[in-house]
Every structure is written in C-alpha cells, then in structure tokens.
Structure 1
Amino acid sequence: MTETTTRTSDRTYRGPAGSGVPRLAGLPGVRRDDVLPQQVLETERYDTDDRRLAAAGIALTLLRMPEGPPQWHLHLPDGGPAEDLRVPLAPDAGVAPAVPGELSELIRGAARDRAVRPAGRIRRVRTEARLYGAGDRSLAVVVHDEVTLATLGSATEVEAWTEVELRSAAADDSLLTEVQNRFTESGLRPAGTAPDEELDRLLRPAPKARPVKAGKRGSAGAVLLEYLAAQADRLAAEELRVRRGGPDSVHQMRVASRRMRSALQAYRKLLDRKRTDPIVDGLRELGRALAPARDAEVLHERISDGLAALPDELRLGPAQAQMTRYFARAEAEANAAVLTELDSERHAKLRSAIDALMERPPLTKLAARPARKEMPKLVARTAKRLSDAVKIAHDPTAEESERDVAVHSARKAGKRLRYATEVATPAVGKDAKQFAKALKGFQSALGEHQDTVVARATLRELGTLAHPAGENGFSFGLLYGRDAARADEIERELPALWAQAWKRRNRRWLR
C-alpha cells in the first residue's frame, strides 16, 4: 500500500536481524559495484486506539523518505493504490504532526469521537549496491534493509529482520541466479509478505465474535441481524464515499439507511423498541438530510435529458444555461448540508447506537422462533399496509393532489415491503424472491410517478424564474405538460400492474 517500489516476491529474501549484506564479489559479468550512502526510511501508520480505521479498511500513513519531503497517504477501501490521496506534510508540523484537515474530514465517519494518533511504525535502514557490467552498463541493484516494525500505544509489539531485494535492470539469467543463490547461502529465505502487510496484520482488529444474544442460526432474530449488519457496513462504506464526493454515493447511502429503517420497522416485534425506535428516528432524519442532494441529482439529469430530447424549434431561449445555473446552486447547497449532517452530533449518536445494536442486540422471545415460520407473518403485516395505500390511490373520486399523495404513500409502503421481503428471502427462499420480482414493475411505476410530481414543481419554478430575467420559459412549460401527461398515464396503468403483482400465487407464502 505504501511501498515506494514494485515488489517482486521471488526476488525478495528475509533473514534474522543483523544478517548483513550477502557476498557480491566475483559475480559473473559484474565489473564493479557502487555502494550508496546509508538511508533511513520511515512509515508511520495512524489510527484510533481501538483500530477503527483498520477495521473500516482505511490506512492513513505518514511517509518520510529520503527522495522527497514527508507526505501523508490516505488509502480508502473503495479505491486502488492509484487513487490514494496524498498531502505534503506542512513544514511547521513539528515532531507529532496533526492529521491535515482535508484528510481528517474523510476519516471522521470511521474515527467518530476517537483521537487519531500514531499506531505503528516501520523503520528501514537501507543500503543499496549497484552492479555494473562492461561499459558501465547498469545490471542490477541489491537493496539491503534492516527493518524494525513496532506497534505503538498501550500494547507494543516489536519485530526486526533483515530484508534483501534484487532489482534487475538488464541482468542476464546467470547473474540473477547467482545473486539469489548467494542470498540463500547467507541464510536468507524468500519473503512472503512486505513490511507494510506485516504492519496491517498486527494492527488489524481481531474479528468480532458473533454476539452471544444473536439467536440460534435459522432463527428470525439471527436472519434479521445478519441483514442489519450488512446494511450497517454498507452505511459506513458509503459515508466514506460521500465525504470523498464519490459518484452515486449519496443515493447508495440513502438506500442503505432506508433498508435498515424498513427492516427495523417491519420486524419491530423481534427487537426491543426502546432501543430501536431512536435508531429508526435517526435513520429517518439522515434520509431527510440526504434527500435534497439526491433529488437535485435526479432532477438535474431528468430535466437535462428532457431539454436535450426536444426539437430545436421547441427549445426556446437559453433554457439549458438557466437550468445549469439553477442546479449548480441547488446541488452545492444540498451537498454542503449533507456534510454538515454527517459531522453533526446527531449523526455521531446514530452511528454509536447502530454499533451498540449490533454488539448487544436486544432480541425478544419472538426472535428465537424459526425464521421460515415467523418472518412471513411479519411481512404480511407490511403487505397489508401497501394494500390499504393502493386502495386510496385507485379511488377515482379523489382530487389530483390527493391521488399524488396516495401514490406517494403507496410508493413508500411498497419500498418497505420490498425490503422486508429482502430480509426474509434467505429463510423463505424462492417464494419470497418471486414475490419481490412480481412487485418490481408496480414499484418502478410508482417511482416514476413520484419523479414526475417532483419534476413538475421544479419545472414550474424554472418557468417562473425565466420571465423576470427576460428569458423564455416555454420549454419548461412543455416539459411540465409532458410530465403531467405521463403521471396520468401511470395512474391508469397502476390497477393492472397492481393486479399482476398482487396475484394470490405471488403471496401464498404470507401468513
């Protein structure tokens, strides 16, 4: 992760500390060797006392190398080495430098309220011998490191060894073979891992044992907790991506929070609500904080695509420029609000409450029952909520605004049912999977309907803003009309889609 050279495992050898440099005299084809002055290279890993960064797959490292100024490296779990973030160490940083603000913001979600300080160090005392052939042609470099690795903090562990690496520039096979033979003669053996990997191993927290109160395998409580744990991990991973500005990260974080909230609501009888209700409320607030950023992203794409699809003669005035200005401000404000929420005390309490829920799950007696028998009953309760909402949405006597609200309520109930079914699928099997598939078309139509409702409000605002600015709002009005027509069309399609999804054979597994 933080190696400065490409490592070739079959040319790197390791032995006891103080083994010394292997004999290099009399190598075939070597006319002379130059030994460079000794160098010291230090790699310092930062983490919390309880290794929260390592547990999250994050590596924050301060590199002190002879060839350049000290530099911070941040490796996040969703990126390769080429995507590591690099920040130079400030000249006035001092002996115990603080983590730069731009990196501190990215790791805040994983570190929470814990201080980040040096957790481990690798020190290499390096000597390089460069081998030259006829005409001073560079053949190879033998790198000799005396390596000391130590963990820092309340528990200290120190390891030391000698490491020798052969880097070949233009050496033939006979030279390479002879050098490696001399490595072996000196008591060195092929090294399986790099020092940074060794430090990773020492700093990696021990795997968390399955909570004692998680319930027997196959029980309703165990199935639910496995699903909740997966969403908790997803929530933490997406928070890192949101802080980094990753594509689609706000949407994915919102989906993870909604999945967890829906599972806690649909299966509330399996857990003590005194513990879960505050988490449900916190996840709801998180969803509300993420919504404007996600809505702005979806609307921007929808309206931009709509304008691009219009014939030139119907795209009047600088509509595209006006839309770009509008969403630039809306998206910037929404994204700033998201980061403010993630840095808030409320969000820190939510993350701590989720951790506590996973570590000490407050399962009820009902949670001990077999998942295959108990979960269908709980999903059936959620299914009834959707059925009741659909009846109102299909009422032909209702006003348009009332139908919009009812369709929106059905959409939310449908998502909760889909996620509740998702939780039960490992226990129930193909019947639950088939039910979720049958609901997909109906759910997609509800989602598109909601998009038209939100888009029409924005299109109306864009059209209203155009007139005082001396611009033409015709194109926005045209898109408004098309979305209104599409909403009516979806409402006419819903009864058939619902009848198809709600067939008795699709929900026969519900009890």
Structure 2
Amino acid sequence: MSARESIEVELKLDVDADQPAPDLAGIAPGATTAAPAVYELNATYLDTPGHDLAAHRITLRRRTGGTDAGWHLKRPSHHPDARRELAIDFADAPADGGVPQAIREAITVIVRDRPLIPVAEITTERTVTLVHAADGAVLAEFCQDRVIAHAHQSQLTQEWAEWEFELVEGDAELLTVARKRLRAAGARKASSASKLARAIGAEPRAHKPARLPKKPTALDLMVHSLATHRDALLTWDPLVRENAFDAVHQMRVTARKLRSILTSFPEILDPAAIAGLADELRELGEVLGQARDREVQLEINRGLLALEDRVPDDLRKALIDDEIARQERSLRTLRFALSSARYLKLLDDLDDAIANPRPGPDADRGAVDVALAGMEHAGQRLRKAQKRLDLLDPWSDEWVEQVHRIRKRAKAVRYTADAAKPLRLKAAKKTAKRAAVIQSHLGDFQDTVVNREQIARVAALPGLSPAAVFVLGRLDAREQTRGRAAVQAYLDRV
C-alpha cells in the first residue's frame, strides 16, 4: 500500500463570508499568482464514540474531490503551524472502503479496540490560488473555503468561512508575511484547530498532568509521573512502528521509567489494584529491548569495521548483512507485539491507574518524604552492589556480572530520582546526575562485553576466511582496551 508522509505547514484563519481576499502577488520578491481554481470537497471524518482521536488533536478523514482525494490522517507536529499528514489514495486503499492498514497502525495506540465511526460530514467549496516564485516554483497555496459541517452526535449543522495559507516551497518568512497581509485584510485567529474541532464543538482535551500543588501528596506525585510517561508512550508508539530514528530507544526508556515508578514506590497505589502492571511493563521493555539491542549492535558493528582499511566480504556479511536481517526480524516481532491484545490492555490499565487511582498505604504521605526515602533505598542497593565488587577477583566472570548489576542499580537510582524531579529537589537532580555518570561508563563497558561475545561467536563460524579471523582478533583487542578504559573511568569517579 502506497502511503505519503509529509509535514503540512499552514495558517488557518476565520473570515466573514464573502470577505474579499487580498492580492498575494508580490508577497515575496517576484512572486505572482495563478488563476484561481474552484473545487468541491466532501469529507467524512471518523473517530471513536468518545472522540479519542480529537482528544489528541488527530483527525482522520475520507475525502473526495480536489487534487488529493483519498484518506488523510493529520497528527500534531512540534511546530505550532505544522501538522504531520499521512495520505493514501483510494487506489491504494481497501476496496471495501475500510480504513487503510497503514493508518490503523498509526492510531492503534489511541484507538485500541474501540470502533471507528463517522462523527462529522463536511462539505467545502474551495477556491485555490497558487503563489509562484519568480522562477515558477510554487511557494504556497492559498485557499478560500466556504464550509458546511454536520456533526453526527449533536446533529448540529454549521456554516462558516475560513482562509488557509499552506507552504509548498516557501519558508517561515513567507508565512510571517502572509499572516500579516491576511490579518490586515480582515482575517481573524481561527476559533478551532481544525474543521472537525469546530464541527463537533469544544475540542476534547487529552489528559495532561496537572501541575502539582504546593504540598503534593505521594499520590499526587505518582499520578503526575504516570501520566507524564504514559503520554510519552503514546507519542513514541507510532514512531516505533515507522522505525523512526531513536524511537525504539525512547519508548524503551519510557517503559522502564513507568515500571521504575511503580517498583520504587510500591505502597503509594493499592498493590492489588495494580497487580501485574509492573510485570507487563517489564515484558514491554524486553521486547523493545530486543529491537533496540539489534539496532545498537548494528551501529557498533559499522563503527568497528569503519576503522579497518580492508574488510573481508564474509566478515562484512556476518557483522553487517546478517545483523540487518536480525534487526528486521526483531522489528517485525515488535510491531506484532504492539498490536496485540496484551499490549492494548496494558495501555488501558495505565489509563485506569491514572484516572481512577486506588490509594495505597503511603498515598497520603508527603511527596517529598516518600521521594527522598525512595532515592535513599535505591542508593543503598547501589552502594551494596559496589561494595560486593571489591570482594571479587577483577575481570573474573563473577566480577564482570557484578559490574553489570551495578549499572542496572545505577539506572534504578536515576529513574527514581527522575520521578522526584517535579518536586524541584536539589537532591534529586544531583542524585540523577551521579547515577547517569555511572550508568554511562558501565554501559560502555557492557557494550564491549556483548561485542566481544559476538566477535567470539563469529570467529567460531565454520568456513570463515583467515583474513576475517585476523580482523576479528584486532577488533577484540580494541574492544578489550575500550572496556578497561570505561571501567577505569567509573572507578575514578567512585
């Protein structure tokens, strides 16, 4: 199925009906305008019965007419005037008129197992004027819209007029000039973020963590932290499905932070009410971890071979081509897991823990007291592991395993301290920073441990060329030196 992803950067402004549009010729040096073209656009907007997509500022429509008929999914972008648009032509969509699979996957984390139903019908009479640069390139598209919208739930029909100015090859400066010129011609700030939002009334709002009160309870902090990371999980999920840069890593970290909050402060919420939630988050972290480990290993392998003047073909296949195949398999497994009923239930359980928290024994305690106690407990476990290391023979298997345990406990300290950061505690910031340093140095060492194990496995492959074995020996020596340097850097800090 062919899908087009783009960033839509546009101005949306309200105007009175029949408001004369300004002449946009000369809006940029040498800019001219083409003759207007008129289209009739008919769109059906879909959402869940509870308007879950609208609550996350997402719109899904099936539209006929105009130059881009088909399915369109619009999602927020980091820029206030921009939205991400996923478009699929009817020719590439299901013949039965159902929602295309690529779009379903992009909104699974929001929609889950809830049905998608028509929530509004919107007809737009659109007059389009293209703005051309001196060389003929299209800088922008100016749309004058007459809109008739009917909302299914309220049975309300509305009519209004609006202007849209969308960049094509123009830049941010052109958008600024256009805003001034259109406002001067009588346009006003848009009353809603989208046609759908205006059609269905007040746009629903997704849950956003409320600001903590001056003296928050432990329950206040718990709900705030869970909501913050739940929202991050919802953000990273569709990016993971697209294999966007760093998305797997960030979603894995988010899952681990959610689990750390629950395990570091086990008595804030009723243990019976959240039974199994931490375990499910651990399972999610593991399946994300498998994909992330393959991603990291491929990056490391490329870095190792980049230092070599000559790389035998069989070694490149073993370290690069075979690793790419393993990464692709892990990504397929991950996408399957993110569409499973188990994962969707985890999301529902998280939502319930946030919206309907069942208080535990520590719920009414002061958030500061509980946070400090949690950091102290995590710190004690870290220090205990560090003392244990002194009793072991350096570089023995048991010693290496203990170093790995120290790294994991430093990570737990960091996540526990991060959970306390909304309280603006200096101790939390310092603790997290110290733990991050330990985690970084020992993480580098752990990478070399894994890399050397991989090098040994590849070296044992039957039929490997002598040249490949020689290069592997050199790579192993280099990783050994790097690993020892990472451990020394850690020891110098403790």
For the criterion TM > 0.5, the same-fold answer is: yes
Q: Which stretches in structure 2 are left out of the alignment for 5+ residues?
A: 22-34, 131-140, 167-181
**Corresponding residue to 1:477 among 473, 480, 488:** 473
Q: 1:160 aligns to what? A: 159
Deviation at 1:424, TM superposition (A): 1.7
CA gap of 1:308–1:162, structure 2 versus 1, over 3 A, is closer
Counterparts of 1:397-476 in structure 2 under 5 Å? 397=393, 400-427=396-423, 429-465=425-461, 467-468=463-464, 472-476=468-472
Provide the C-alpha distance between the structure 2 equivalents of 1:286 and 1:113, rounded to a whole number of angstroms. Answer: 19
Aligned-pair Cα RMSD in Å: 3.9
Tell me if structure 2 keeps the 8 A contact 1:14–1:164.
Answer: no
Q: Name the SS for the 2:49 alignment partner.
A: coil
Name the CA shift for 1:321/1:222 in 2 (closer, same or farther; >3 Å).
same
Match of 1:330 in 2: 326
User: Matches of 2:492 and 2:129 in 1, distance apart?
Assistant: 79
1:13 partner amino acid: V
1:76 alignment counterpart: 75
Runs of 5+ in structure 1 lacking a partner? 24-34, 131-140, 168-179, 499-511
Distance 1:389 1:276, change over 3 A: farther
Q: Distance in 2 between matches of 1:267 and 1:319?
A: 48
* Aligned counterpart, 2:106: 106
- Conserved 8 A contact 2:420-2:428: yes
- 1:222 is aligned to 2:223: no
Match of 1:263 in 2: 261
Question: In 1, Cα distance between the equivalents of 2:332 and 2:165?
Answer: 50
Q: Is the 8 A contact 2:261 2:415 kept in 1?
A: yes
Letter aligned with residue 244 of structure 1? E
Q: Does 1:87 align with 2:83?
A: no
Aligned mate of 2:374, from 373, 378, 381: 378
Contact 1:74 1:86 in 2 (8 A): yes
**Corresponding pairs, count:** 449
1:279: which partner in 2? 277
Q: Compared with structure 1, are the counterparts of its residues 393 and 76 closer, same or farther at alpha carbon in structure 2 (3 Å cutoff)?
A: farther
1:151 deviates by 2.1
- CA deviation after TM superposition for structure 1 residue 191, in Å: 4.3
Which position in structure 2 is the counterpart of 1:205?
204
Q: Higher helix proportion, which one?
A: 1
Question: More displaced, 53-62 or 282-291?
Answer: 53-62
Deviation at 1:162, TM superposition (A): 4.9
Code of the residue aligned with 1:422 in structure 2: it is D
> Do the aligned partners of residues 122 and 79 (structure 1) sit closer, same or farther apart at CA in structure 2, a change above 3 Å counting?
farther
Aligned to 1:50: 50
CA contact (8 A) 2:73 2:86 kept: yes
Q: CA deviation at 1:199?
A: 2.2
Q: Distance in 1 between matches of 2:89 and 2:143?
A: 26
Cross-structure match for 1:300: 298
Kept in 2, the 8 Å contact 1:38–1:127? The answer is yes
Q: Give the alignment of 1:144-155 within 5 angstroms.
A: 145-152=145-152, 154-155=153-154
- CA deviation after TM superposition for structure 1 residue 120, in Å: 2.2
Q: TM-score when scaled to structure 1?
A: 0.77
Q: Please name the residue that 1:290 is paired with.
A: 288
What is the CA distance between 1:279 and its match in structure 2? 1.1
Per-residue CA deviation, residues 342-376 of structure 1 (Å, 9 max, x unaligned), is: 01121111111101111111222422122222321
Tell me the secondary structure at the aligned position of residue 121 of structure 1. Answer: strand
Instruction: Report the equivalent of 2:133.
Output: none
Q: Is the 8 A contact 2:438 2:490 kept in 1?
A: yes
Deviation at 1:284, TM superposition (A): 0.4
**Equivalent position amino acid for 2:239 in 1:** R
Deviation at 1:325, TM superposition (A): 1.0
1:13 alignment partner in structure 2: 15
* Higher-Rg member (1/2): 1
Q: 1:41 to 1:403 in 2, by over 3 A?
A: same
Matched position secondary structure for 1:149: strand
Query: Which stretch of the first structure deviates more once superposed, 360-369 or 287-296?
Result: 360-369
Which digits, 9 at most, give the CA deviation of each residue in 1:423-482, with x for residues without a partner?
Answer: 123325212212222233222111112111211222222222373478622222322233
Deviations along 1:104-161, whole A, 9 cap, x unmatched? 122112110011222223212457999xxxxxxxxxx998754212222x33332113
Deviations 1:77-114 (A, max 9, x none): 347758522110148967x8211112112211211001
The more displaced of 283-292 and 477-486 is 477-486
Q: State which of 168, 190, 207 in structure 2 corresponds to 1:193.
A: 190
Structure 1 residues 120, 395: CA separation in 2 closer, same or farther (over 3 Å shift)?
A: farther
Instruction: Find the counterpart in structure 1 of residue 383 from structure 2.
Output: 387
- Change beyond 3 A, Cα 1:192–1:414: same
Identity of aligned residues (%): 26
Q: Distance in 1 between matches of 2:227 and 2:128?
A: 49
Partner-residue secondary structure (3-state), 1:150: strand
CA deviation map 1:295-349 (0-9, x unaligned): 1111111121122123x27x55553344221211111111111101101121111
Aligned to 1:504: none
Relative to structure 1, is the Cα distance of residues 203 and 289 closer, same or farther in structure 2, using a 3 angstrom cutoff?
A: farther
Equivalent position to 1:347, from 343, 347, 359: 343
| Amino acid in the other structure paired with 1:159 | Q
Q: Determine the structure 1 residue equivalent to 2:170.
A: none
Mean Cα deviation higher: 394-403 or 352-361: 394-403
How much does 1:255 deviate?
A: 0.3
Q: What per-residue deviation string (whole Å, max 9, x for no partner) do you get for residues 9-32 of structure 1?
A: 4xx7314xxxx7989xxxxxxxxx
